[in-house]
Every structure is written in structure tokens, then in C-alpha cells.
Chains A and B, each alone.
Chain A
Amino acid sequence: MELVFEIEGGDFTSAGNASSKIKKVLKQLNIDSKTIKRIVIAVYEAEVNIVAHAKKGILKASIGSHFIEVKLTDKGPGIEDVEKAMEAGFSTASKQVREMGFGAGMGLPNIKKNVDELDIISEMGKGTLVKFKNYF
């Protein structure tokens, strides 16, 4: 099964749509709730990252019998130093985004903590690919 979502940069009203839908689908598939909780955290954080940083992006979730793979591709500024971005507390978010309670530098660490496999490929001035996979 494949689910595809378009994500608009700056549109905080729709942040959470993809994670909410994916949560519902996984529940229907009777995936155990601990696994769903981990995936939902990762998907939500990845969605918010696109809304907060990029112009737009696409999220594709492939659900197999024993795994879910989520790929997010965005057109955005790119991440200058991926290793640094993975550090808890490091953020380049705007003041406005921080005032909403985002941009605390917890997003990527939250993703890392809750997925089984994670790849981030980024090109400055072009965009970022975030890909992660969880096994059931």
C-alpha cells in the first residue's frame, strides 16, 4: 500500500495530516500500538520540518506486511551540516516558528530515536530527502 501527501511550506494548519492518516491506516492493519506510536512521532516531526523550513514537499509512505517506509522529499534550503542538525537543541528555525513551540532542535533527534533505519541526503539550495523505515 502506498500513501502520498503533498506538504506546503509554511502551512502549519495541515501539519499532522499525514501522520494522522498513517496512524489510522496502521491501526486498521492491527499493527501493535507501541510501533504505531514510534512511527507517528517520526512522521509528524518530518512533516513539521518541511512546513517550518521548506517551500514544499512530498511524503510517500509504503506499507508492507512487515515494515513501513516513509520518504520525504522537499524543495528547500537544504541542511548545511546534517550531523549538527541531528544534535539535540540545534535549530535554524525562525523566531515565529519557535514562538509556536516548534524549532527547539528536537525534531530530528525525535525521528532518530523512533525509527529503525534513517537516511538523510541534503543539497544546499535545492532540498532534502529524509527516508526512514520501521519494522513490525
Chain B
Amino acid sequence: MKVSDLVEKFNLIVFSGNNGLENEISGGYVSDLLSDVMGNAGEGEVWITLQTHQNVMAVASLKDLAAVILVKGFEPETETLNKSNEEGIPILGTRWGTFETVGKLYNFLQED
């Protein structure tokens, strides 16, 4: 499954990193603690969080994540957008809270 499949299925906002929409997804990780993601997320995973600052992209890039999804209508800061475009790791957005987002994504990824 690709990032673009998630965008289409759940009507996610694409804030940035359009050049990474074809990234393959290996799974997902949920956390708002950066060290937790650093220590435990896996390559190609989609990271669901409410953090919006640019260190999110530093972590996403170091971990080779497929995309970042911001929940609850949060929007990325400008530097975060720039870094996402540079790295080709999309930042996506949804109005849903973390619980709903993860529930839907989990079921969809299981079907794949």
C-alpha cells in the first residue's frame, strides 16, 4: 500500500511532501514522544501524532518513515513543511482524533 492510497481512502489533507506520495507503507506508529518514535518506529511506517514542529521531520527522515499524519486538525509549522518537501516525506492531516484515525487506518492496513 502507498501513502496515496491512504490519502484517497480517508480523504486526508496533503500539506506537503507530494513527491513522497508513492512511498510504500509497512505499518503505523502512534506517539507524541519523539524519543519513543526514535527508539521504536520502523522503516516505512506512517507516524500519527499531534506534534507539529520541525523536529518531527528530523525524526521521520532519520527513521525513513513513509509519512506523518497530524490529527485533530493540527497544521504543520512552516519549517516542518519545508523539511517535508526536501525529504519527500508527506505530512498529511485529518480532523479526526488519534483514536478514530488509528482505528480506521489499522483496519485498512490489515486488509491489504
A and B part of one assembly: yes
Q: A residues within 8 Å of B by Cβ?
A: 12-13, 15-16, 19-20, 23, 37, 40-41, 44-45, 48, 100-102, 104, 106-107, 110, 113-114
Question: B55 to A110, Cβ gap below 8 A?
Answer: no
Distance of A87 Cα from B34 Cα, bound (Å) = 17
Q: B residues within 8 Å of A by Cβ?
A: 32-36, 38-39, 43, 49, 51, 53-55, 58-59, 61-62, 79
Residue pairs across A and B with CB atoms within 8 Å: the count is 57
Q: How far is the CB of A118 from chain B (nearest CB, A)?
A: 15
Which residues from B are CB-within-8-Å of A13? 54, 79
The dominant DSSP class at the A interface is: helix
- Among B32, B34, B59, chain A packs the most CB atoms within 10 A around the CB of B34
Q: How far is the CB of A63 from chain B (nearest CB, A)?
A: 18
Question: A106 to B33, Cβ gap below 8 A?
Answer: yes
Q: How far is the CB of B50 from chain A (nearest CB, A)?
A: 9
Which residues from B are CB-within-8-Å of A41? 38-39, 62
